[in-house]
A and B are shown apart, each in its own frame.
Chain A
Amino acid sequence: MGTREILTLQFGQYSNFIGTHWWNLQEAGFTYKSDDISEINHDTLYREGVSPRREVTFTPRLLSVDLRDGLKALPEVGELYGGLQLPSTSELNWNENAVEVKKEDCDDKSQFLKDLAGASNVEEVLNKDYDFERDVTVWSDYLYSRFHPRTVNVVKQFEYGNVNTPFDVFPLGKEVWKTEQFEEDFTDKIRNYVEECDSFQGFHMLTDCTNAFAGMSSSCLEYLQDEYERKSVLVFPVIPSHFPDNDYETEKERQDSLMSDSIRLMNLALSYNAYNEFSSLFIPLCTSEKGFRQPGLKRSFHNTEYNHKLPYHSSAILASALDTFTLKHRLKTSGFNLVDLCVDLNMVGRKCASASLCFPFCINKNVDLIDCLDQWDGPLTKSITPSCEIGTDRQMQHITIRGIPESRLKGPPHNAEKQRDLPAFKCKTVSEMLTFYYQCTQYASATNVTSVQKALPVKTPFPKFFNQKLDFTGNFTNSEQLSKPESIPVLAGLHTGAEIGVMLEKLHTETRKIKFKRFNAFISGGIENDDFEECLDNIFTLRENYEDNYFL
């Protein structure tokens, strides 16, 4: 099979945080040795190109959108294709006395970026430790990947932290989409990417869904549906795990925060409605439990101590999940396509699915998978879809496990001892054993398991938030380790089941409580009360698709 290309779109700051980790960790997984052939087909998400200096480039097939000020030290056109030399005044062909140069303060590059720019040996930088927790304010601070000049798009009309013109409500994003920058240039960039591909299969879209980017991505989806109607679009609406305004102190701050929560919830409802209409499948992601109205408590993962207030941390977890459960349609060997994934999960109009993650997959050092599963307590994975738990029966699910080599499946036959007594001992592969595990633990579920040998690389600039007892391959040991993990095994899944209906109902109930007419910014943006009512009704109808007393 040739490469079936995918174009990734990222809308908004948090999406870019996740995206940055995702591209970083993919590139950390590149192997340049000819004898070590990767199972993953990187051409699916990356493209090969030639810079004007005739160097071969390998850059993400990506379009990312952010606001002015969201980039800091990253130039819009990237460095790879040149063009950042300041022209001399004589080159301008203008009276030299009448040239005004306005140079903005050079934003401080993070230490990591400085080292990366000056490094003769990149390996060294990637083995160093940095204080990212303190340094990172925007996603470009830990960006290792280098982008094609097309990739970064900046919305000039809005900037972060401007209280006069916040980019906070759904219709604003739709309005920005209507400007020439997006309706002409951005769509042209999509076309340029797609034109290059021989067997383009569809889009991955990561989008913020609590601010105006929700509106922008909705408009973009509508366009994709119109122009590329037979391609699949897999949408990941993301919700940050923490909003700074939720830490209020004064009464006024509390009021403002309540107001912001309502706005975010309305954006969420409006965007879910659009995703339901125009995407092939959408999977909301958040590392906190509730997502709405407030993110709620953080979900904790074994052996990982992350700070949910840092987008740098929480986005790393979501990126790991993304990289893992999209593996199935990015493998070299499988004929499995994005459309297959979408069709498997969106049957009977179940356009919304949930995701779960086991991060890292906790397996003790020198223990076989069979024993590990035998002694496992509770569900394997933890939901990363807000306000949605993963059910235990009547699930349609795709599970991907990585980093467990077949050699660790079970003991050799002559030396298996007690393992022989376990019914799973007959399983010959990792995926077979996991399928069997799910068959035994879940009722009336269809499970499709993919196993990938390669573990998730977690070297710098990935956060170092793991338990000290993990060794460098991410296995659990009984003593504190000197070296930090370089890669970890991960298990991630995509599910659809009745629990999503419950989530949609919660969303519907919460949003119903809002008095729409009080929110002038939506109304003046062109959303009528009736539109909003219709959106809520649609969500309610979508919920019905998850009631499964009709079949089975």
Chain B
Amino acid sequence: MAISLLNPKAEVARAAQALAVNISAAKGIQDVMKSNLGPKGTMKMLVSGAGDIKITKDGNVLLHEMQIQHPTASLIARASTAQDDMTGDGTTSTVLVIGELLKQADIYISEGLHPRILAEGFDKARAKALEVLEKIKIPVEASRESLMDVCKTSLRTKVHQKLADVLAEVCVDGILAIKQGDKPVDLHMVELMEMQHKTEADTSLVKGIVMDHGCRHPDMPKQLKNAYILTCNVSMEYEKSEVNSGFFYKTAEEREKMVTAERDFIMQRVRKVVELKKKLCDGTDKSFAVINQKGIDPMSLDMLAKEGIMALRRAKRRNMERLALACGGVAVNSLDDLNESHLGYAGLVYEHVLGENKYTFVEECKVPQSVTILMKAPNKHTLLQIRDAVRDGLRAINNAIEDKAVIPGAGAFEVAANKELLAFKDTVKGKARLGVAAYAEALLVIPKVLATNSGFDAQDTIVKLQEESRLNPDPVGVDLTSGEPVNPKDAGIFDNYIVKKQIINSCSVIASNLILVDEIMRAGMSSLKG
């Protein structure tokens, strides 16, 4: 009220009207996203006015690409993408469940039920659903097979099946390579490298590091075997310093002297590397590579090239850490007291040139604890699609390792929760039970949409699933090729536990908040609404 006194021009929508606004927004965004769910969902090709192409069926990517003007819709979108930020999956499901919860709520509220009571019911149902989730989860070891299942399930909803299987294998092997005992896996230690080349099926795992640059000297070796790897963060380029520029030095000699002294300082550094190389490699079949985070100027390159040293400049900061993990050794910040123990080892270092881009492969490391997923595709938009998929795949695997459990997929959880919630409803006193009923119904949106997207009748499928689940204590999901009930365990369809848990929590909270809104105001400068 207050704001309308202060600012009579503020637009205000109240009570029923406010709810209607929120519900229609939630429905709207649900409609857009609905068709993407599951492995049979539609692929969307977005073409911008200027011709930029984006191909995706990942809910998270879509929400980022879409222009959402409606404030409620953008709130839902943000909540859903936050879901993805946390767990790497489940964006589309979040949007669908929120939309459905609001739709169900609409029915009861229009019959006069107070939103507050409904929200109470939602909260009870949420707690119960989490219980069901605990009951239904299947503990797993971090074995290759079980991780493959989870990863494949997640990836098949994002790319076509053949590619999903290739990527799943790459991702699982990648994670297993860097996993050390029970320590949490640092996903950053899996480097993702893109190459616009060949086809997407050529995407592979490199047990070592691939860098997107090569050496910048024509005489440097393009391939090394048995190589010592020196990773360092030491500038090897002469730079005019501030004191020798401008007005300070008037005579040419004075200035020249200064320059020579500084130049010599850099040469000293390079000489140290050269000396170490001579000491370790001369007379053996070993070779030497320098990977520097800082610059190396042509003169220094020249000195190194004369010694047959391969040198790379301006390496990615994070690659310093990765290289040390992949090849052993440490990344040094100074070349003083440099010795063999600082160096890493790689059996093979070679350069690959692709158009104007150079790539350097560091392979055949002894115990690589950092690996690279080399993504290949003939064009940019496919590369992007693969990159999004690989990231999600890695997250899915990591989730499964951390949860030490998975959830049977294909809508099995939703069907089971629906059954349990309907039974639970009768134990709830008062009108709040209506909220539980609404919640139970809303969860079914997942199997329904899965069925619809595969070309089956939603009601038909649900009835079949519910019948089957009454008879069968095992989890029951929908088989998307036949439309019949199936045990997801047998079909190898598993979802992440954490993803489902997040969906239950965030959807309930957001839906409750949205139905409790009884006034929407748009007033003043939008930038002032904190």
A149 CA / B51 CA spacing, docked (Å) = 13
Q: Which residues of A contact B529 (CB under 8 A)?
A: 520
- Of A49, A52, A104, A256, the residue contacting B47 (CB under 8 A) is A104
- Of A72, A164, A256, the residue contacting B69 (CB under 8 A) is A164
A421 within 8 A of B: no
By the criterion CB–CB under 8 Å, are B246 and A340 in contact? yes
Q: Which residues of A contact B153 (CB under 8 A)?
A: none
Chain B 100-138, CB within 8 Å of chain A: the 1/0 string? 000000000000000000000000000000000000000
B212 within 8 A of A: yes
Within 8 A of B (CB), among A33-75: 49-52, 54, 68, 71-75
A366 within 8 A of B: no
Q: Which residues of B contact A102 (CB under 8 A)?
A: 44-47
By the criterion CB–CB under 8 Å, are B49 and A105 in contact? yes
Report the minimal beta-carbon distance from B327 to chain A, rounded to whole angstroms: 21
By the criterion CB–CB under 8 Å, are A98 and B42 in contact? yes
Within 8 A of B (CB), among A73-125: 73-77, 83-84, 86-87, 92-95, 98-107
Closest-by-CB residue of A relative to B46 is A102
Report the minimal beta-carbon distance from A447 to chain B, rounded to whole angstroms: 12
The segment from A194-202, A314-322, A471-479 found at the interface with B is: A194-202
Within 8 A of B (CB), among A202-232: 227, 230-231
By the criterion CB–CB under 8 Å, are A524 and B380 in contact? no
Q: Which residues of B contact A519 (CB under 8 A)?
A: 528
By the criterion CB–CB under 8 Å, are A164 and B526 in contact? yes
By the criterion CB–CB under 8 Å, are B526 and A100 in contact? no
Report the minimal beta-carbon distance from A248 to chain B, rounded to whole angstroms: 14
By the criterion CB–CB under 8 Å, are B45 and A101 in contact? yes
Within 8 A of A (CB), among B147-184: 160, 162-163
By the criterion CB–CB under 8 Å, are B53 and A107 in contact? no
The segment from B312-320, B413-421, B435-443, B509-517 found at the interface with A is: B312-320
Closest-by-CB residue of A relative to B242 is A343
Looking at A149, A198, A200, A521, which has the most chain B CB atoms within 10 Å of its CB? A198
- Of A73, A93, A340, A520, the residue contacting B160 (CB under 8 A) is A93
A312 CA / B196 CA spacing, docked (Å) = 37
By the criterion CB–CB under 8 Å, are A339 and B47 in contact? no
A446 CA / B295 CA spacing, docked (Å) = 35
Q: Which residues of B contact A196 (CB under 8 A)?
A: 216
A169 within 8 A of B: yes
By the criterion CB–CB under 8 Å, are B527 and A76 in contact? no
Closest-by-CB residue of B relative to A519 is B528
Q: Which residues of A contact B64 (CB under 8 A)?
A: 156-157
Q: Which residues of B contact A418 (CB under 8 A)?
A: none
By the criterion CB–CB under 8 Å, are B316 and A188 in contact? yes
A343 CA / B40 CA spacing, docked (Å) = 63
Known: A51-B355, A71-B50, A337-B240. A92 touches B43 (CB 8 A): yes
Chain B 245-258, CB within 8 Å of chain A: the 1/0 string? 11100000000000
Closest-by-CB residue of B relative to A340 is B245
- Of A99, A252, A259, the residue contacting B45 (CB under 8 A) is A99
A166 CA / B527 CA spacing, docked (Å) = 7
Q: Which residues of A contact B473 (CB under 8 A)?
A: none
Closest-by-CB residue of A relative to B62 is A102
Report the minimal beta-carbon distance from A308 to chain B, rounded to whole angstroms: 26
Interface size on A, residues (CB 8 A): 70
- Of B9, B71, B380, the residue contacting A164 (CB under 8 A) is B71
A414 CA / B175 CA spacing, docked (Å) = 86
A231 CA / B355 CA spacing, docked (Å) = 29
Report the minimal beta-carbon distance from B211 to chain A, rounded to whole angstroms: 10
B339 within 8 A of A: no
Q: Which residues of B contact A277 (CB under 8 A)?
A: none
A76 CA / B380 CA spacing, docked (Å) = 11
Chain A 135-176, CB within 8 Å of chain B: the 1/0 string? 000000000000001000000110100111110110000000
- Of A68, A72, A95, A191, the residue contacting B314 (CB under 8 A) is A191
Known: A74-B50, A104-B49. A93 touches B163 (CB 8 A): yes
By the criterion CB–CB under 8 Å, are B212 and A192 in contact? yes
By the criterion CB–CB under 8 Å, are A343 and B314 in contact? no
Report the minimal beta-carbon distance from A438 to chain B, rounded to whole angstroms: 16
Q: Which residues of A contact B9 (CB under 8 A)?
A: 252
A94 CA / B160 CA spacing, docked (Å) = 6
Closest-by-CB residue of B relative to A102 is B46
Known: A164-B74, A198-B298. A86 touches B48 (CB 8 A): no
Known: A100-B42, A102-B46, A166-B526. A195 touches B213 (CB 8 A): yes
A263 within 8 A of B: yes
- Of B45, B240, B527, the residue contacting A263 (CB under 8 A) is B527
B525 within 8 A of A: yes
- Of B53, B160, B213, the residue contacting A86 (CB under 8 A) is B53
Q: Which residues of B contact A2 (CB under 8 A)?
A: 298
Closest-by-CB residue of A relative to B64 is A156
Chain B 169-209, CB within 8 Å of chain A: the 1/0 string? 00000000000000000000000000010000000000000
A323 CA / B241 CA spacing, docked (Å) = 25
A168 CA / B46 CA spacing, docked (Å) = 28
B55 within 8 A of A: yes
A31 CA / B497 CA spacing, docked (Å) = 65
B337 within 8 A of A: no
A433 CA / B46 CA spacing, docked (Å) = 61
B30 within 8 A of A: no
By the criterion CB–CB under 8 Å, are B40 and A95 in contact? yes
A164 CA / B529 CA spacing, docked (Å) = 10
A344 within 8 A of B: yes
By the criterion CB–CB under 8 Å, are A521 and B245 in contact? no
Chain B 206-240, CB within 8 Å of chain A: the 1/0 string? 00000011001000000000000000000101011
A372 within 8 A of B: no
Q: Which residues of B contact A340 (CB under 8 A)?
A: 240, 245-246
Within 8 A of A (CB), among B59-81: 64-65, 67, 69, 71, 74
Report the minimal beta-carbon distance from A77 to chain B, rounded to whole angstroms: 6
- Of A77, A99, A199, the residue contacting B237 (CB under 8 A) is A199
Closest-by-CB residue of B relative to A105 is B49
A99 CA / B160 CA spacing, docked (Å) = 12
Looking at B44, B69, B160, B240, which has the most chain A CB atoms within 10 Å of its CB? B240
Known: A75-B50, A199-B297. A339 touches B242 (CB 8 A): yes
Closest-by-CB residue of B relative to A79 is B51
Q: Which residues of B contact A54 (CB under 8 A)?
A: 355
By the criterion CB–CB under 8 Å, are A73 and B316 in contact? no
By the criterion CB–CB under 8 Å, are A99 and B247 in contact? no
By the criterion CB–CB under 8 Å, are A83 and B49 in contact? no
By the criterion CB–CB under 8 Å, are B239 and A230 in contact? yes
Report the minimal beta-carbon distance from A174 to chain B, rounded to whole angstroms: 15
Within 8 A of A (CB), among B14-64: 35, 40-53, 55, 64
Looking at A51, A68, A92, A166, which has the most chain B CB atoms within 10 Å of its CB? A92
Closest-by-CB residue of B relative to A346 is B242
B4 within 8 A of A: no
A2 CA / B240 CA spacing, docked (Å) = 14
A76 CA / B54 CA spacing, docked (Å) = 11
By the criterion CB–CB under 8 Å, are A72 and B44 in contact? no
By the criterion CB–CB under 8 Å, are B314 and A100 in contact? no
- Of B49, B317, B356, the residue contacting A106 (CB under 8 A) is B49
A523 within 8 A of B: yes
Report the minimal beta-carbon distance from A258 to chain B, rounded to whole angstroms: 10
A54 CA / B353 CA spacing, docked (Å) = 13
B379 within 8 A of A: yes
B283 within 8 A of A: no
Report the minimal beta-carbon distance from B189 to chain A, rounded to whole angstroms: 15
- 16 A-B Cβ contacts within 8 A? A49-B356, A52-B355, A83-B380, A86-B45, A102-B46, A162-B69, A164-B71, A165-B526, A196-B216, A200-B295, A230-B241, A337-B245, A339-B245, A340-B245, A343-B242, A520-B529
List 13 additional A-B contacts (Cβ < 8 Å) besides A76-B52, A100-B42: A54-B355, A73-B50, A77-B52, A87-B55, A92-B45, A93-B163, A98-B41, A102-B46, A156-B65, A165-B74, A198-B216, A200-B295, A524-B530
Interchain residue pairs A-B with the least CB separation, the first 8: A107-B49, A195-B314, A520-B530, A524-B530, A340-B245, A75-B50, A98-B42, A50-B356
